[in-house]
């Protein structure tokens, strides 16, 4: 491994960015071969040891829909709880919330869609019906003292509907926040967003009363735009960026969605801009090399491959 990039801070960017690590959940949900519970727990432990302070642990979705995450309760029971570290879990409905509360979680996320096509494919409901389903989940979680994040997918394009109007993203996003979500994560599920598009969506949300302090961004790198889009979001004041260790993940319900923005690529990028993340890049790269070995294939992260001597695991 060869250290870190030189730092050249740019004006108008935040001094610190909170990385919302989604690898153990979003990164693994697509895997065809079952990943042992102990491996998932060890992955989370290593990510925390590398300095990540938000590590999404799992999803309390029905194992029929996402078999890979059918061990959610076992994962949560085996986790070491570290002070100052958050372990959100995805919760699809009231039954999922019951299971999550029984497992002792302290933060959840719900997953909505800006488009009707994806809402039907992902949740088997219309957008309105899905928001109605989430209402008691959010209120129940808030009543239990849990923080709630609202994911909004297909914000920048949909494989079935094509372009998604910015007004549509604002409408569904504000309704999700009105349910009681603390944060809205804007998802570029198929990776078609570009920097100007990102800033247009954030500006439109601002005009609707939703400032960047309530937003996170979740970019996929299908067209190589994830870091450029991240820069645009930082310029607009966003300080929460989702990423997946080693670039794992995609979306099981949208086949054109490739991997998430790799956490290592994001840390290298932010470090070069002089932005603090609190993450030890060498430890993170070593974690992704280890995970690649567990999965039997190299990491797609360019930074992992560069710092690990070109292999990124095997």
d(CA 248, CA 25): 10
Q: Which domain holds residue 293?
A: 18-307
Residue 13 domain flag: no
Contact partners, residue 42, CB within 8 Å, separation at least 6 = none
Residue 258 domain flag: yes
Residue 39 domain flag: yes
Among the listed residues 309, 269, 259, 271, the one whose alpha carbon sits nearest the alpha carbon of residue 289? 309
Residue 36 domain flag: yes
- Residues designated as active site: 251
Predicted local distance difference test score (pLDDT) of residue 191: 93
Predicted local distance difference test score (pLDDT) of residue 128: 97
d(CA 63, CA 79): 20
Residue 300 domain flag: yes
Predicted local distance difference test score (pLDDT) of residue 110: 98
The domain total for the chain is 1
Predicted local distance difference test score (pLDDT) of residue 243: 98
Phi, psi of 290 (to 5 degrees): -60, -45
Predicted local distance difference test score (pLDDT) of residue 1: 47
Structure tokens at 119: 């809402």
Low-confidence stretches of the chain (pLDDT beneath 70): 1-2, 250-258, 310-314
d(CA 287, CA 243): 14
CATH number, domain with residue 56: 3.20.20.70
Residue 195 domain flag: yes
127-171 per-position pLDDT tens digit: 999 999 999 999 999 999 999 999 999 999 999 999 999 999 999
Predicted local distance difference test score (pLDDT) of residue 148: 98
Task: Count how many residues are written for the chain.
Answer: 314
């Amino acid at each position: 491994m060869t250290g870190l990039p030189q730092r050249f801070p740019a004006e108008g960017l935040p001094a610190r960015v909170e990385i919302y690590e989604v690898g153990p959940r979003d990164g693994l949900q697509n895997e065809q071969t079952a990943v042992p519970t102990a491996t998932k727990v060890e992955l989370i432990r290593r990510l925390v040891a590398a300095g990540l302070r938000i590590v999404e642990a799992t999803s309390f979705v029905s194992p029929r829909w996402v078999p890979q995450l059918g061990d959610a309760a076992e994962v949560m029971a085996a986790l070491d709880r570290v002070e100052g570290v958050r372990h959100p879990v995805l919760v699809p409905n009231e039954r999922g919330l019951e299971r999550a509360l029984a497992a002792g979680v302290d933060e959840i996320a719900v997953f909505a869609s800006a488009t009707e096509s994806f809402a039907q494919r992902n949740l088997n409901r219309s957008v309105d019906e899905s928001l109605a389903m989430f209402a008691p989940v959010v209120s129940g979680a808030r009543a239990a003292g849990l923080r709630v994040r609202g994911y909004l997918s297909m914000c920048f394009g949909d494989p079935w509907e094509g372009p998604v109007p910015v007004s549509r993203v604002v409408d569904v996003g504000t309704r999700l926040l009105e349910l009681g979500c603390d944060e809205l994560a804007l998802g570029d599920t198929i990776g078609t967003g570009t920097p100007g598009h990102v800033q247009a969506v954030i500006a439109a949300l601002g005009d609707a009363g939703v400032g960047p302090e309530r937003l996170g961004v979740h970019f996929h790198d299908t067209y190589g735009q994830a870091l450029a889009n991240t820069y645009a979001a930082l310029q607009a004041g966003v300080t929460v960026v989702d990423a997946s260790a080693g670039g794992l993940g995609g979306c099981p319900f949208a086949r054109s969605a490739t991997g998430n923005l790799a956490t290592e690529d994001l840390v290298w990028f932010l470090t070069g801009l002089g932005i603090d993340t609190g993450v030890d890049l060498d430890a993170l790269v070593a974690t992704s090399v280890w995970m690649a070995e567990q999965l039997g294939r190299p990491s797609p992260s360019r930074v992992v491959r560069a710092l690990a001597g070109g292999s990124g695991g095997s």
